[in-house]
Amino acid sequence: MRHLFLKIFLWFWATVILTGISLVLAWVLQPASVPSRWHAGFEDTARYFGTAAAGAFEQSGASAASEYIHRLSEDAHIHACLFDDAGHPLAGEYCPEFEVMTAHIVSGKPSDSDMRRGLARMAVPIKGSNGRAYIYASELLAGPRALGGEHSGMAPLRVVVALLVSGAICYFLTLYLTTPILRLRSAAQQIAAGELSVRAEPSMELRRDELGDLVRDFNRMADKTEHLISSQRQLLYDVSHELRSPLARMNVALDLLRGRVRDDPALDRLETDLQRLNQMIGRLLTVAKLEAASTLQTPVRVDLSELISSVVSDADFEAQERGSRVDIVQAANPAVLGDPNLLRSAVENVLRNAIRFTQTGTAVEVALRTDGVTSENEVILSIRDHGPGVPEQELSNIFKPFYRVADTRSYDPGGVGLGLAITERIVRLHGGRIQAINDPNGGLRVEMIFPRAFWTAE
């Protein structure tokens, strides 16, 4: 019941069924007696058909009267019977059904009527052309049996047909309403995945209803979003690129100044800030390029086990200078399809971040495994530190450029806040996903999940 299609379909169909049930109940629950405003009309109708039946009886006998009543039954789907003035049946069908009403007429009642199973029944005394007295009893056109006809066994079949027809109508109506919504959802998912050029189908814009308005508004929104994001990416790239020239001139000026001043703590500080600024601009250019790329240009098969061993070896040397180490605690041997340089950069960014925050004397744990994933076509690279962790509400934000966590972890003397942002974009470019989790035993664990290439290096 969570799907919109199923909800609309069932509600439409339930409405049709309940409407039909209400109509049937309205017929069945009619009062036992004929309403007074209908009585005169029913009595006149019964006298008209009764006079015709009596005329046929007097002219051609009981067979002619029975033939008349039979044709009346076939044409109007009503039962009738002609009695003499003593209540004995002369012609007709289903005469025993009217015996009680006929008895009332014999006893002197001017007419008799009732409602039975939603049907109006009427018995009246009539006079033939030769003055002979008769009693005519008949069902009138009312209630479900008027729809069912003579064969009551046809009623269930007609109910089934009505349900099938109503179900088909509700199905196609629901399909008509939900199809553009599902297509619009698919387009929104593709845009959310980074395919900003995706639009809803042009044929959907031709609809002249609220859904057509929604599709047109969606496409206009997508155009505006693509333009804004593209402009932002281009601005980021242009600014970062333009900063390179004055930064290079500042480095030259710093070298010239050192030749004149020699050792000076202020120049050391300036050199550190220039190096950090140069690093930040380089990473900004990397972010801009990764954002602009939708697919890898020349992907190759990469042996993750070999790549991680190489990166861990370099990172362990850096960790030892900080009084910690990097250990591979679990190693599988899968391969992925991608760019080895980008993958190396992604792993190095996370490892350096973990080394920076892990406590002295602890190990950064690296695990490459194929178990514990949602699909057998995936591989997990997990990197865990033994640091202070990150507040739960901040876990999804640490992959944003320049985002800083408002706690002790936010003090980062060696970073510029772009490493994890670059890693997230590299992982996404390789068709994977990344997540940060606070380990139950302490520290932060970053998991990069990649699709496997089902190839293992020898």
Give 33-52 pLDDT, tens digit per residue.
Answer: 555 555 677 788 888 888 88
Mean pLDDT of the chain: 78
Q: Return the higher-pLDDT residue of 44 and 454.
A: 44
Known catalytic residue at 241: yes
| Mean pLDDT value of segment 82-93 | 87
pTM over 0.85: no
Q: Which pLDDT score is estimated for 145?
A: 45
The pLDDT of residue 165 is: 76
pLDDT of residue 181: 83
The CATH code belonging to domain 300-451 is 3.30.565.10
Q: Tokens 């002790």 — which residue?
A: 408
With vertex at residue 396, the alpha carbon angle to CA 390 and CA 401, rounded to the nearest 5 degrees, is: 95
Q: Apex CA 360: angle with CA 354 and CA 364, to 5°? A: 35
What pLDDT, on a 0 to 100 scale, did the predictor assign at position 291? Answer: 64
Class of domain 210-292: mainly alpha
At residue 408 the predicted structure's pLDDT band, cuts being 50, 70 and 90, is very low
pLDDT of residue 385: 92
The position carrying tokens 């199923």 is 6
Helix (H, G, I), strand (E, B) or coil at 386: coil
Q: What percent of the chain has pLDDT over 70?
A: 79
Per DSSP, the residues of 401-447 read: TT---SSGGG--TT--S-HHHHHHHHHHHTT-EEEEEE-TTSSEEEE
458 confidence band (pLDDT: 50, 70, 90):
very low
Catalytic residue among 77, 79, 241, 430: 241
How far apart, in Å, are the Cα atoms of 286 and each of 182, 197, 283?
A: 36, 22, 5
Residue 58 near residue 128, CB atoms below 8 Å: yes
Fold designation for 31-148? Beta-Lactamase (3.30.450)
What are the residue ranges spanned by the domains of the chain?
31-148, 210-292, 300-451
Average pLDDT over residues 204-225: 84
Instruction: Inform me whether the pLDDT recorded for 234 exceeds 80.
Output: no
**Cα–Cα distance for residue pair 74/276, rounded to 1 Å:** 99
What pLDDT digit, counting tens, does each position of 426-436 carry?
888 888 889 99
Of residues 32 and 56, the one with the higher pLDDT is 56
Of residues 274 and 455, which shows the higher confidence score?
Answer: 274
> How do the residues of the chain divide into helix, strand and coil, expressed in percent and rounded to 5?
55, 15, 30
Structural contact between residues 367 and 334, judged by C-beta atoms closer than 8 angstroms: no
Helix (H/G/I), strand (E/B), else coil: 202 = helix
Structure tokens at 217: 């508004």
